[in-house]
Structure 1
């Protein structure tokens, strides 16, 4: 598995170098839906990753933000779950908060995860049962024990959360989860439906760094599901997990009950 993880990291590095070479150039960009940007680099990186990763594991299925979903992936025990550029909005706006995200899922759980953020010069890696690293150095969560004062990557804090501390937020949710894994933040929470490709690699990195990671209601996250979605994500230092879930609960229940 270690050799396979090295190969995945090398492919991620190739893809991120390609994307970096086109960053801040005059590439085509548009919206798939209002507020959901995409660019031609997303598609080119997606094609590169699919070719390289499929050659690496021909028996693995495929799930990616930039590929039309095919239910045949559900017949595969192992599936690549990929976001070619997580944080496209930052990529388009010449900001550094984007990364190539690759996860290998085996039996509904990620077993290899790589995030390659070339502008930030950050490479995050994890293998199931072997810990997580940032640029080759082992990482772990902050160890925070008090919920009040916890750092969370966000632009603004709602009034109900003014006892928390906002820290710089990359557009990539994968990088925000990775910040918790490295102790650069204490918690990351979302309370909306999200796609598996956004978080699969980062979830493994956070788990292997000792974080507690669940959906917004505290349930275990699973991958390669029929809808390829989960209701929110909470990545948190273990000692403050219960307080974080209690803080989120009413908002999560309300959001879950709203029409999608």
Structure 2
């Protein structure tokens, strides 16, 4: 597994180098749907990753933001879960808050995770049972036990969360989860339907750094599900997870009822 993880890291690094080389060039960009941007680099990186990762494990299934989903992946024991550029908005705006996100999921659980963030000079890696690292330095979550004062990567917070503290937010949800793993934030929460490719690698990073991770209701996350979605993600220091679930409960119930 260690050798496989190293190969995945190398492939993600090649993808990151390719993406940053094209970062300030005149590439094509459009919206897949209103408010959902994509660019030609997303697709090129996706194709590169699919070719390289499929060569590495020919039996593995494939799930990516930029590839039409195929139900055949549900029969695969192992599956690559990929977001070629997580944080496309920051990529398009020339901001550094984006990363190449690659995870290998085995029987519904991430076992290898890599975030390659070349614009930030960061490589985040995790392997099930072997810890999480940024640029080779082991990560560990904070030991916070009080929800009040918890740091949250966000532009702003609702008034009801006035007792929390905002910290700088990259556009990439994976990098925001990784901030909790690194002890740079104490809590990351979403209360909407989200896609597995956005979070698979980062969830492993957070768990291996000692974070508590669940959906918005405090339930375990699963991967390679039929719709490839989960309702929210909640990543926290272990000592505040129960309180965070309780804080979000009413909002989560209201939000899920609107789908």
Structure 1 runs (4+) deviating above 2 angstroms are none
**Separation (CA, whole Å) in 1 of partners of 2:25 and 2:240:** 43
- Aligned equivalents of 2:104, 2:97: Cα separation in 1: 23
1: CA distance, partners of 2:121 / 2:188: 22
CA-to-partner distance for each residue in 1:191-242, whole Å, 9 max, x for gaps?
A: 0000000000000000000000000000000000000000000000000011
Structure 1 residues not aligned, in runs of 5+ = none
Aligned ranges for residues 202-241 of structure 1 at < 5 Å? 202-241=202-241
Instruction: State the match for 1:93 in structure 2.
Output: 93
Q: For 1:1-260, list aligned pairs within 5 A.
A: 1-258=1-258, 260=259
Query: What is the root-mean-square deviation of aligned Cα atoms in Å?
Result: 0.4
CA deviation after TM superposition for structure 1 residue 144, in Å: 1.0
SS, match of residue 59 in structure 1: coil
In structure 1, what is the Cα distance between the partners aligned to 2:117 and 2:254?
34
Q: Cα deviations across residues 27-55 of structure 1 (Å, max 9, x unaligned)?
A: 10000000000000000000000000000
Aligned residues: 259
Q: TM-score, normalised by structure 2?
A: 1.00
Deviation at 1:143, TM superposition (A): 1.2
In 2, the alpha carbon distance for the partners of 1:218 and 1:49 equals: 32
